[in-house]
Amino acid sequence: MELRHLRYFVAVAEAENVTRAAERLHVSQPALSRQVRDLEDELGFALLKRTAKAVSLTDAGRTFLGEAQAVLLRAEAAVRAARAVAAGGCGELHVGYAPSPTVRLLPAALRAFQTELPMVRVKLHDLSTEEMLDGLRRGRLQLAVMVRPTRGMLRGLCFEPLVRDALRLAVAPRHPLARLRSVPLAQAVAEPFVGFTRKDYPEYYAMLDEVFAATGRQPRIAEEHEGASSLIAAVEAGGGVALVSQSLASSAGDRIRLLPLTPAPQSLVVGTAWLDGQTSAATELFLKCARAAAGNLDR
């Protein structure tokens, strides 16, 4: 008895018609009938009652159907488990991410990856930029989905840009600037700023310097925060304004206002990073899924 025999029998039993089952399996009707009869001959009892127009299960066939379906499901699970190990070398893929900038990209990439390799468990790690880069170099992470770091920070790593995210000035709803349609850079730089911690997000301060370079001034940092949630709360409370990406709107809602800057600075680049020469089949598949998710965002 082979899995093929079980598959053919289950198809006929579920369709209750040999012709429809043959069409579903893409085999000829005579070949399908012969395989099911071979199975019955091997078992020594009838599984199906046959008429000119339909087939139905015998009592023994009903019992056998449930067991055959369970065997086929178990065989499929075994294949998925083996494929996961062969593809990834392990059952887990550790991915670092920055929550706000990746909110549009990461969920779609994850869904596509888990559909392809459901037996590989993706473990997400919400980390700062420095922590992600260190995790990649130490092998604790296989991939990171993040804002592009500076070139010097990427030593020994690869980075692939995927999407762009417009920069905005975050202000409290009742801040005087909130009534403007857009904020000139020269006017924005005069405000106290709320930023991320310099130690964990050095690229954020490089970005601030670059954005406001044309004004001849550097923003005054009034507060530093470890993550987006506390930064949103600080801006909402009036602690200052902040330079953030448009994707922060999905986390902040109407708690703050995000205003365009004039002239508009270059958008943030969000992509994936990995250790040079250290990809597996699983990481390659995740990269493929991330590229596809980014492509769908651009449509």
Strand ranges in 51-132 using DSSP code E only, listed in sequence order:
55-57, 92-97, 121-126
Instruction: Please check whether residues 277 and 255 belong to one and the same domain.
Output: no
Going by pLDDT thresholds of 50, 70 and 90, the confidence category of residue 82 is low
Give yes or no: residues 102 and 246 share one domain: no
Residue 299 has pLDDT above 70, yes or no: no
In terms of residue numbers, what domain contains 32? 3-88
Domain boundary among 88, 115, 135: 88
* pLDDT given at position 162: 95
Q: What is the structure's pLDDT at 179?
A: 94
Domain count, the chain: 3
Note the pLDDT of residue 81.
Answer: 62
Same domain, 176 and 260: yes
> Which of 30, 64, 88 is the last residue in one of the domains?
88
Tell me the CATH number at 35: 1.10.10.10
Statement to judge: residues 37 and 49 lie in one domain: yes
Identify whether residues 109 and 78 lie together within a single domain: no
pLDDT at 156: 92
Query: What is the rounded average pLDDT for all residues in the chain?
Result: 88
Tens digits of residue pLDDT in 29-40: 888 888 888 888
Say yes or no: 274 and 147 in one domain. Answer: yes
Q: Are 118 and 80 in contact (CB under 8 A)?
A: yes
**Domain end residue (candidates: 47, 63, 88):** 88
- The stretch 195-201 carries a mean pLDDT of 90
Q: What does the pLDDT look like over 124-168, one tens digit per residue?
A: 999 989 999 999 999 999 999 999 988 888 999 999 999 999 999
Q: What's the 3-state SS for 240-298?
A: CEEEEEHHHHHHHCCCCEEECEECCCCCEEEEEEEECCCCCHHHHHHHHHHHHHHHHHC
Q: Give the model confidence (pLDDT) of 166-196 as tens digits.
A: 999 999 999 999 999 999 999 999 999 999 9
Question: pTM for the full model?
Answer: 0.65
Asked whether residue 80 falls in the same domain as residue 104, the answer is no
User: Which position has the higher pLDDT, 96 or 278?
Assistant: 96
Statement to judge: residues 181 and 214 lie in one domain: yes
Verify that 151 and 283 share a domain, yes or no: yes
* 212 closest CA partner among 197, 193, 237: 193
Same structural domain for residues 186 and 54? no
Query: Are 196 and 260 part of one and the same domain?
Result: yes
**Do 81 and 70 share a structural domain?**
yes
What CATH number does the domain containing 237 carry? 3.40.190.10
